[in-house]
Amino acid sequence: MPSNSEATALAKRRLYENYKPAPFVLARGLGSQVFDVEGRRYLDLMAGVAVNAVGHAHPRLAKAIADQAHTLLHVSNYFYNEPNVRLADTLCRLSGMDRAFFCNSGTEAIEALVKLARHHFYGLGEPQRTRLVAFDHAFHGRTLGALSVTGTPKYREGFGPLGPVTHVPFADIEAVQREMTPDVAAILVEPVQGEGGVVPAPIGFLAALRDLADQAGALFLIDEVQTGVGRLGRWFGFQGSGVEPDAIAVAKGLGGGFPIGAMLVKERVAGALPPGTHGSTFGGNALASAAALAVIDILESEGLVEGARSKGQYLAARLATLVAELPDVCVAARGEGLLQGLVLREGILVRDLLPLLQERGVLLTAAGDRVLRFSPPLVVTLAELDEGVEAVRGVLGSLARNRV
Ligand SMILES: *Cc1c(COP(=O)(O)O)cnc(C)c1O
The CATH number given to whatever domain includes residue 333 is: 3.90.1150.10
CA angle 139, 143, 147 (to 5 degrees): 40
Residues 134, 144 within the same domain: yes
What's the mean pLDDT in 341-351? Answer: 96
Whether residue 117 is predicted with pLDDT greater than 60 in this model: the reply is: yes
Residues 292, 338 within the same domain: no
Residues 163, 309 within the same domain: no
Band the pLDDT of 404: cuts 50, 70, 90. Answer: low
Residue of 105, 155, 221, 225 to mutate, ligand 1, most atoms within 8 A of C-beta: 225
Considering only CA atoms, give the Rg of the chain: 21
Q: Which of 301, 329, 353 is the last residue of a domain?
A: 301
Are 112 and 278 in contact, with CB atoms under 8 Å apart?
yes
pLDDT attached to residue 196 = 97
pLDDT attached to residue 402 = 81
C-beta 150 within 6 A of ligand 1: no
Whether residue 307 is predicted with pLDDT greater than 60 in this model: the reply is: yes
Residues 297, 308 within the same domain: no
260 CA to centre of ligand 1 in angstroms: 12
| 361-370 tens-digit pLDDT | 999 999 999 9
Active-site amino acid positions: 139, 223, 252
The DSSP output letter for 378 is T
C-beta 246 within 6 A of ligand 1: no
Percentage of the chain beyond pLDDT 90 is: 97
Distance, in Å, from the CA atom of 276 to the CA atom of 203, rounded to the nearest integer, reads 40
Q: How high does pLDDT run on average in the chain?
A: 97
Other Cβ atoms less than 10 A from the Cβ of 210: the count is 21
Give the chain's domain count: 2
Residues 11, 125 within the same domain: no
pLDDT attached to residue 116 = 98
Residues 47, 110 within the same domain: no
pLDDT attached to residue 267 = 98
pLDDT attached to residue 373 = 98
Residues 287, 321 within the same domain: no
Distance, in Å, from the CA atom of 260 to the CA atom of 399, rounded to the nearest integer, reads 40
Pairing of strands 330-336, 339-344: antiparallel
What's the mean pLDDT in 161-169? Answer: 96
Ligand 1 atom closest to residue 223's alpha carbon, by position in its atom list: 13
Structural domain for 33, as ranges: 4-54+303-403
pLDDT attached to residue 400 = 78
Residue nearest to atom 10 of ligand 1 (CA): 140
C-beta 139 within 6 A of ligand 1: yes
Residues 166, 290 within the same domain: yes
Q: Which of 301, 319, 345 is the last residue of a domain?
A: 301
Distance, in Å, from the CA atom of 98 to the CA atom of 353, rounded to the nearest integer, reads 44
Whether residue 243 is predicted with pLDDT greater than 80 in this model: the reply is: yes
Are 225 and 106 in contact, with CB atoms under 8 Å apart?
yes
134 CA to centre of ligand 1 in angstroms: 15
C-alpha count within 13 angstroms, C-beta hemisphere, residue 240:
13
pLDDT attached to residue 1 = 76
| 275-287 tens-digit pLDDT | 999 999 999 999 9
Residue 361 in 3-state DSSP?
Answer: coil
| 73-109 tens-digit pLDDT | 999 999 999 999 999 999 999 999 999 999 999 999 9
Question: CA-CA distances (angstroms) from residue 186 to 76, 88, 112, 216, 237?
Answer: 31, 24, 13, 9, 19
Whether residue 250 is predicted with pLDDT greater than 60 in this model: the reply is: yes
Residues 265, 331 within the same domain: no
Q: Which of 301, 316, 332 is the last residue of a domain?
A: 301
Band the pLDDT of 145: cuts 50, 70, 90. Answer: very high
Distance, in Å, from the CA atom of 379 to the CA atom of 284, rounded to the nearest integer, reads 26
Residues 90, 102 within the same domain: yes
C-beta 195 within 6 A of ligand 1: yes
Whether residue 388 is predicted with pLDDT greater than 70 in this model: the reply is: yes
Residues 198, 250 within the same domain: yes
CATH number at residue 91: 3.40.640.10
Whether residue 306 is predicted with pLDDT greater than 80 in this model: the reply is: yes
Question: CA-CA distances (angstroms) from residue 133 to 23, 123, 164, 182?
Answer: 40, 20, 9, 12
pLDDT attached to residue 93 = 98
Distance, in Å, from the CA atom of 132 to the CA atom of 140, rounded to the nearest integer, reads 13
Band the pLDDT of 262: cuts 50, 70, 90. Answer: very high
Distance, in Å, from the CA atom of 244 to the CA atom of 267, rounded to the nearest integer, reads 12
Residues 74, 44 within the same domain: no
110 CA to centre of ligand 1 in angstroms: 8
| Ranges 120-129, 184-193, 227-236, 393-402: which has the least confidence | 393-402
